[in-house]
Amino acid sequence: MMIWLYALVIGIAFVIQFVLSSKQMSQFNKEFVALRRKGKVVVGRKSGGFFAGAIVMFQIDDNGVIQQSKKIEGTTFLAKVKDFPGFEGIYVRDLSREMVPKSHRNLRKAVEDAALTYSKYVAGEPIPDAPSPAQKLKLAFARNKSTD
């Protein structure tokens, strides 16, 4: 009987997590669309796994100069999209991790990823999708098998 109670509690937790994560994605999409209506948007991301991940969005003009920036960082669905001041007027290719305070390593990597993504876009190179957790696991097993 206790197993059913545990299963019910876990099921309810999954539903709550799904609903709140959907709300977070909806807020992110709303902010992205608002930036996109003003011009091109460069996105940088760095997943955190068990640590705080980060996504940055830079709205740029036709010359690649940042007009507005936003960020979302955190470990849970409670993270909100916030303004990310201090980048206005900077050419997006000139972004570097040193421009971000050292307090959040994944935020610094997300800024660096945005500059790299923009450079690839301008050069006409394909921008690969980030591997899913299942794909990462599959790659890890494949690497371990090849070393055996």
Average pLDDT over residues 19-47: 89
User: pLDDT tens for residues 93-121?
Assistant: 888 878 887 777 888 888 999 999 888 88
Comparing 21 with 66, the larger pLDDT belongs to: 66
Q: Quick check: is 42 in a domain?
A: yes
Q: Quick check: is 96 in a domain?
A: yes
Q: Quick check: is 143 in a domain?
A: no
- The distance in angstroms from the start CA to the end CA of the chain is 44
Phi-psi sector, 4: left (phi>0), alpha (psi -120 to 50), beta: alpha
- Provide the number of structural domains found in the chain: 1
Q: Quick check: is 135 in a domain?
A: no
Comparing 143 with 89, the larger pLDDT belongs to: 89
CATH of the domain at 84: 3.90.1010
Q: Quick check: is 34 in a domain?
A: yes
Hey, what long-range contacts does 124-128 have (CB within 8 A, 24 or more apart)? none
Residue 32 has pLDDT above 60, yes or no: yes
Q: Quick check: is 83 in a domain?
A: yes
Instruction: Give the C-alpha distances (Å, rounded to integers) separating 134 from 10, 51, 105, 118, 139.
Output: 21, 18, 24, 27, 9
Domain that holds residue 81: 2-129
Instruction: Give the C-alpha distances (Å, rounded to integers) separating 42 from 81, 107, 121, 147.
Output: 15, 15, 10, 38
What's the pLDDT at 146?
A: 63
Q: Quick check: is 141 in a domain?
A: no
**CB–CB of 54/90 below 8 Å?**
no
Q: Quick check: is 31 in a domain?
A: yes
Contacts of 121 (CB under 8 A, 6+ apart): 42, 127
Q: Give dist(CA 64, CA 58) in Å, integer.
A: 10
